[in-house]
Each structure stands twice: as structure tokens, then as C-alpha cells.
Amino acid sequence: MTDAFNTFDSISTASGKAHFASLKKLETALGAPVSRLPVSIRIVLESVLRNCDGLKVTPEHVKQLANWQPNADRTAEIPFTVARVILQDFTGVPLLADLAAMRSAAARAGRDPQKIEPLVPVDMVVDHSIQVDKYGTPDALDLNMKIEFERNQERYQFLKWGMQAFDTFKVVPPGVGIVHQVNMEYLARGVMEKDGMAYPDTLVGTDSHTTMINGLGIVAWGVGGIEAEAAMLGQPVYFLTPDVVGVNLTGSVKPGVTATDVVLTITEVLRRAKVVGKFVEFFGEGAAALPVTDRATIANMAPEYGATMGFFPIDEATCQYFAATGRKAAQVDLIRAYYQAQGLFGIPNAGEIDYSQTLSFDLSSVEPSVAGPKRPQDRIALSAIDTTFDTLMQKSKADGGYGKTTEDLRRTYAVEDGDELRHGSVVIAAITSCTNTSNPGVMIAAGLLAKKAVELGLYTPSHVKTSMGPGSRAVTEYLKAAGLLPYLEQLGFSVVGYGCTTCIGNSGPLPEAIEKTILDNDLVACSVLSGNRNFEARVHQNVKANFLMSPPLVVAFALAGRVPFNVEKEPIGAGKNGPVYLKDIWPTQEEIAALLHFSTDAGTYKSYANVGADNPLWDGVTAPTGAVYEWDEKSTYIQEPPFFTGAKAATPAIKGARALAIFGDSVTTDHISPAGGIKPTAPAGLYLTEHGVQKADFNSYGARRGNHEVMMRGTFANVRIKNLMIPGSEGGITLKDSEEKPIYDAAMTYQAEGTPLMIFAGEEYGTGSSRDWAAKGTTLLGVKAVVAKNFERIHRANLAGMGVLPCQFKDGVDAATLKLDGSETFDLEGTENGIAPQQDVTLVIHRANGNVERVALKLRIDTPIEVEYYNKGGILPFVLGQLLG
């Protein structure tokens, strides 16, 4: 570690002296306006300064970032060395498989396999494998965990091998909590120390909602497993110098309005303000007055409003949160002392920071809200949900509606068990995911609402599948202490697991009679969930309308049993003393405040003292040992990925390519990457059947991410994806020689013929979760380029990292204006002599009638390091070469 600008300094703390790289000294040394920079930029600058070695990080990098201009052209890239990496198991298992494959490749090459070792601390939280198979009973948690371990035995053996094989790879076992809340309550340090140096806790994570930790003033965002792998192995995270949008929060939240209502409204406003790919930094008196848990709720949904981060600087409230969640006093003292010494302590007021753009948001303007039925940014005022739902139902499918008539909406349909359904019936009600279960205010509100409902004689209709998947065991502890858990359980909201359940698609099966009625009558059934994602077919393949809302509203809509009702005029249900309305059971701010102290008792977080203890299921998992993993060819869960066997440099030119698919707007990683259940008739289902796996043991695509054979067969196989080459179609099909085929089957035929492939798409291609398999599957299918109107940040980077060229249409041109239908062949010119960041390339279209058309595109290989990755055939072969010299 060098002190290139003579900026090292020291501070005294309760535990002794700590050295640090001083930003104040850098400001003096360079004469740059460092103290006017956004706080988030200054934290990144500290990393660049401290890691300046003249090689990967140069003095020029430090000078460029120290002189950040709010509205300059963004051409310089920042080499950001993070302090740690966090993984969840869906993305972490394939990453561990890649590490194991690197060791295998090193051993085959006669090199020391233990050179492949994470160079920064890596924590994996196993939280995505729990499914809601059992629900509504006190033993649901125990039963679901037993099923989880039966399904995932091979995966968990592999994780345990990784724990012993790598020194810096730690695992938080199943049943502890969701990755983001465990990060908030346990893993986050605020300030790290190594070799006598103190420095900010920064990280990247393999989940897009890694940004939740921004609520604690920690610079972090989600990346694909591909980028995380490089960060683990000593590569800086490279990104273009960002714009920073300052959001001045004013006013205060009105009584009766929840943190969920606030974040859904902010998501709508910021998505409209086009903050995609930018840092968002909140400031002002409103931000300073927000509880830290509310800040985390807002930060968590940065991917939904499109920002790289939704950042709140560290202040005294942050320090109090660290103390309240059981951190040691010396650690809290270090955090406070370090940030004060750096001039980074406290949320700035208006005018103190230079931002690229400043927006103002009045917290008092927020009204109770939900979002849906297909996107988190589509906010609906709670008071208008009935009329909005009816309008959406009667809109044509072509206009994004459901194509139903007024008569359809009035009909009811009998269920075999004596219940009845209609369009708009709630069949899944889930308090789930990281957005809201992190927030004691809304969780206590849900418990209070349940208590009032039970006391008035309300009950949940039998057609509603209810569940509660808290973000951590601490949630259950404070709900118990407050006396609220029994009331939630009486309404069916028993704990089903500690992890990401319904929001990720792990909602489990619906009762057969319910599902049969939905399918037989093409019903638009609904889910209500306190999550952050509601894309098509994500929650459940046969539940078409999905609404995000606060936990108390989830309970309320579960009681109502349907989405379209007027919350102000219609009763939720018939109580023992007459009709009960939402206002009769909605908790007051005073009632919530009276119980919040249970969530700020450090004793509530004692389960983290020996994390994962008292887990006989985890203790009972046996695992292989050794530095190199022994691959089992018969395994249907874990296979050696092919990214290091015969890796080749990128093809310099693409000629004679065919379109594998042509998509419209808002194609998400849920559409691209395999997720949810595996159908027996799908290519992945046929593969598993051929390998002797019974349908009951298929598990989910997410659980099988360690097997590329399953994953490539499931790429683009979403039941709701629409390939415009076959108008009116849904599902993962395409045209090959005028015949409809599964995309996987067609891709394999094209590969056998030596034909390169291309994907065409519209706006916001690749939004959603940071799934590296969306890019890995694309490349394994033989796709050489993806041409879209624009890309989501993580997916674009992942495509580039996997050796696929992301290309962007120029303004006013897209697949529709070019009238592409899949009959064409394509060349991509301009890459023959090497590529440069964001250069122009030319798409040559050879029409079936013999006409030739040339279209200018922008190559979205954005940075010089991405050029290097591409030239080596992808980031993984590049990193392996670096490590082995």
C-alpha cells in the first residue's frame, strides 16, 4: 500500500489508534473541491486513493475522481476496489462452481490450484432455497426447512466443500434470514480495519437489492456473479464515472402512510425522472428525520427506480442503529470517529453539495399506495385500486390489459372444495422479501392490524394462500415480544421460512382445486405481497396480476380475498358485530410507536452471536474435502461449467447471423434467465426426466443454477415471454426453417450448422434481478450480439463479461421500424480490426427478398477493461489468466 499523495493520517478511538487515507489532506494536496463532492463519490474516492498502486489504480485515477464535475462527459472509468463481497445462494452457487472450475483448470495446467482464492472477505447467505410448500400452521417453518434440505442436499454439500476449500469464503446457513437484512443486522461493519488501516465498509453483492445497505451509508450495489467473481479475485469493479442525482427530501410522512407507500411513490417519481445508471443521494431535513429502517426501504428499491444506488450518508441515527442491533460499542465509536475525521458524518443540507441534478420530494405528499399488476414502478393510489383494476381488466391484451368484459368481471366460478373464485380473487397473500420485513414499523403495523381483525371476528377466506417469510429471526423475536405473532398466525400468516420466498417465485404450489379453477376458466387471479418485484410469471406462473403493498395491506387484502374493492366504502369483511372497514382495523401511529422499542433492544439480535448454531439440518450435511472439487458426472445439480475448457478469444466479426428472438420492451431477467418451476415438457424438464429425476424432485431453476445443462435449456423459456417472430405467441419458442421450436432446440441446431445468433429487443432490456445466467445462458445458446434500444446496467455489463456484444439502436430506430421478422440474415461490421469503447458499428440486414440495408448501432462495450475482457473471450478466462500469470 503506497501513500502516493502523502495523505495518510490517524485517529484515536476507544480501541486505539487507527490510520486512514485522509480526504481532507487530499483536498489540500490537489486543490480540488473534494468537500463539495457527493458523499457517495467521496467514499469511492477514498478507495481509489488508498489502493493507488500505479498499476491497476493510478494517480491519474485519483486526480480525475477528486475533480469530479457534476455535468461533465462520462468517459473516465473508476477502478473501485471493494472491501468485501456478499452473495445469496441462487447466484452464489454458480459463482462457487466457477471458482471450483478455475481450480480444476489450474490443476489441469499443472499450476497450484490454491492460487485461486478470494482476496477479500466473501459471505454467502443461503436464503433463496426455501419454498412455501407448507403454510398456515405453526409447524410450517419446520416442515418447509426439512423439504428444503431434502431438495438441496447436493447444493449444500457443495457449499460446505467451499467453506473448507477457501479461507475467505464464509456461509450463513439456511434458516437465519434474507441476505440483505442479515447484511444490515449482522454482516455490515460500517468501517473495516486491516493491517492498521481503517477504511469504509463497501461491497458489491450478487443481488440487485444489495442497495438496501445504502440506508446505512455504505456504498454498495448489485452486480452479476460474473463481476462479483472478478472483485473477489482482486480485480477492481470498473465503472464509468457516474452522474449523481441529489434528492432533497422535505416535509414528513402523514399519519397512516407507511414506508412502503413512500418507496412506491419515490420509485414512480424517480423512474419518471430517468435516473437509470446514476447514483441517487438523498439529503435534506426530511432525509435526516427518517428512521434508518425507512432509509433502507427506500435504498432497497434503487433497482426499481433504475439507479445504481439510493444512498443515505452516515449520521448519528446510523450509529444508533448499529448499537441497537447488537454491534459492540467500540465498533460504533470507530464508525463515528472515522466518518467525522473524514468530514463525511451527517446528512447534508441543501446547497452543501454539488450534484449533477437536484430533485425535491415532499414526504407529506405521499398517500397510501400499491403497485402493479406487472411492474413495481406502476403505482396505484389505494383509493383508486378498484377502478384501476377494472380498467386494466377490460383493456386489450395488446395494450397491456387482460381483455375481459364487464360480464366476465361479475361472474363467479365454483371451486371443487366449495369455495368460489372470480377475476381479481387473491390466491396468494405474502409478507415477504427484503423491502418491508426489514422495517419494524410496517411489521408491527401488520401485527396490530391482525390483532384488531381477530378481535372483531374477521378471518381469511380459504382460497387465499397466506405466508410470512421474515427477513430475519429478529423480526419474529420482536413480534413475539410485542404480543402480535399469535394474531398473525390466527389469520394464516405463520412463519414459513427465513428467506426470499414469494417475491423470488418460491411461492410454492397452489391447492390443486384452486389452480384447476384458474386454468379452466382463464381467471386473472391475484397475489398481494410486501416484496419489490411483481414481473409477469415471477410470483407464480398461473397468477397473472401481482400487487406490491405494505405488510398491513397484505393482511387487509388477504381478509378481503379480492383486489378490486373500494377501501373507503366497502367493508373488508363481516365481523361478529357487523361489517368491518379498513379504517376500523388500521393501526394509529401512536399504537405503532408504543411497540417499536421491542425492535431496538439489542437482545432481539442475540441469534447472531453464534450464527447458524442449533441447526441440526445444516450440521447433518456431510461434504467432500480437498482443494479441488471432485465433479460428479451424474449430478443434476452441480456440473463443471464450460467457461474454462477451451475458452477462445472473441470472434472479430459476425457474419451470416440469424435472429434467435425478437422482443419488445421491458424484457426482464425474469424473462431471460431461468426462474421458478420447471415444466416436465420444457427442454429442462425433458433433460431431468432423461437423467432419472422424478417430477416431484425437479425443484426450481434457481436451485439448479449450478448445472449449466439445465440453465441453458431454461434460458428464454419463461411462459410469458413474447417472441415477436411468432405474433401472438407466449413461451420460449422461435422459428427455425419456418417451424416453431423451443428456443433451446433451435439454438442447438444453429450451433450444429455453425450459424451465429443475435437477439433483438426494445427498451429496458434486462431489467430486474442481477442474474448472471441471463448472460451465461445467452452465450451458451450461441448468441454473439444483443441489439436493443437500451439496456439495464447490470445485464449489459454481464453480456460484455460473457463475450456477447451489447449493441444499441440509434434514436428512432428499432426492430419494429426496421420491420424485422426473423427471415433475415445479419452481419455486424466495424469490429474486424478490434473494438473501442462505445464505438459505432454497422448492422447489415440481408432481407429474404434480396434487399440489403445498413443501420448504424452504438457498441455498448463501455470501458477499456470491458474491451480486454471481450478480447480474452470473457471476464472469467481473463481473470484466470491474470491469477495464473
Residue 853 covered by a domain: yes
Name 881's Cβ contacts closer than 8 Å, sequence gap at least 6: 872
Average pLDDT rounded to a whole number, residues 869-880: 89
Residue 560 covered by a domain: yes
The pLDDT assigned to 435 comes to: 67
Average pLDDT rounded to a whole number, residues 315-324: 97
With a cut of 90, say whether residue 713 has pLDDT above it.
yes
The pLDDT assigned to 646 comes to: 62
Residue 164 covered by a domain: no
The answer to whether residues 659 and 822 touch, using CB atoms and an 8 Å cutoff, is: yes
Q: Are residues 543 and 666 in the same domain?
A: no
Q: Are residues 572 and 658 in the same domain?
A: no
Average pLDDT rounded to a whole number, residues 642-647: 77
The pLDDT assigned to 648 comes to: 62
Q: Are residues 553 and 653 in the same domain?
A: no
Q: Are residues 561 and 693 in the same domain?
A: no
User: Which one of 594, 619, 653 terminates a domain?
Assistant: 594
With a cut of 90, say whether residue 224 has pLDDT above it.
no
Per-residue model confidence as pLDDT tens digits over 566-616? 999 999 999 999 999 999 999 999 999 999 999 999 999 988 988 877 789
d(CA 859, CA 217): 34
8 vs 699, more confident: 8
Residue 68 covered by a domain: yes
User: Which one of 26, 46, 80 terminates a domain?
Assistant: 80
Average pLDDT rounded to a whole number, residues 501-528: 93
Residue 197 covered by a domain: no
Average pLDDT rounded to a whole number, residues 221-250: 91
What's the total number of domains in the chain?
3
The pLDDT assigned to 265 comes to: 96
The pLDDT assigned to 652 comes to: 67
d(CA 221, CA 212): 9
Q: Are residues 590 and 650 in the same domain?
A: no
Average pLDDT rounded to a whole number, residues 718-734: 92
Q: Are residues 575 and 684 in the same domain?
A: no
Neighbours of 255 (CB within 10 A): 10
Reported confidence tier of residue 230, pLDDT bands at 50, 70, 90: confident
Q: Are residues 652 and 767 in the same domain?
A: yes
- What's the whole-model pTM score? 0.86
Q: What is the CATH number of the domain that holds 587?
A: 3.30.499.10
Domain residues for the domain of 439 are: 369-594
The pLDDT assigned to 826 comes to: 98
With a cut of 70, say whether residue 770 has pLDDT above it.
no
Helix (H) or strand (E) holding 730: none
Q: What is the CATH number of the domain that holds 672?
A: 3.20.19.10
447 vs 878, more confident: 447
395-399, 542-546, 689-693: range with lowest mean pLDDT: 395-399
Place of cell 453464534: 610
Average pLDDT rounded to a whole number, residues 351-367: 98
With a cut of 60, say whether residue 647 has pLDDT above it.
no
Per-residue model confidence as pLDDT tens digits over 146-176? 999 998 999 999 999 999 999 999 999 999 9
With a cut of 80, say whether residue 471 has pLDDT above it.
yes
345-354, 533-542, 566-575: range with lowest mean pLDDT: 533-542
Q: Are residues 584 and 673 in the same domain?
A: no
d(CA 835, CA 839): 7
The amino acid sitting at 189 is R
User: Which one of 80, 109, 134 terminates a domain?
Assistant: 80
Residue 129 covered by a domain: no
Residue 796 covered by a domain: yes
Reported confidence tier of residue 192, pLDDT bands at 50, 70, 90: very high
Neighbours of 736 (CB within 10 A): 20
Please give the mean pLDDT across all residues of the chain.
Answer: 93
The answer to whether residues 331 and 322 touch, using CB atoms and an 8 Å cutoff, is: yes
Q: Are residues 447 and 540 in the same domain?
A: yes
The pLDDT assigned to 137 comes to: 94
Share of the chain above pLDDT 70, in %: 98
d(CA 726, CA 739): 10
With a cut of 60, say whether residue 199 has pLDDT above it.
yes
Residue 29 covered by a domain: yes
Reported confidence tier of residue 651, pLDDT bands at 50, 70, 90: low
**788 forms bridges with which residues in the sheet?**
808
d(CA 165, CA 100): 9
Q: Are residues 560 and 704 in the same domain?
A: no
Q: Are residues 865 and 731 in the same domain?
A: yes
The answer to whether residues 40 and 61 touch, using CB atoms and an 8 Å cutoff, is: no
Q: Are residues 688 and 567 in the same domain?
A: no
Per-residue model confidence as pLDDT tens digits over 274-313? 998 899 999 999 999 999 999 999 999 999 999 999 999 9
Torsion of CA 111, 113, 116, 122, to 10 degrees: -170
428 vs 862, more confident: 428
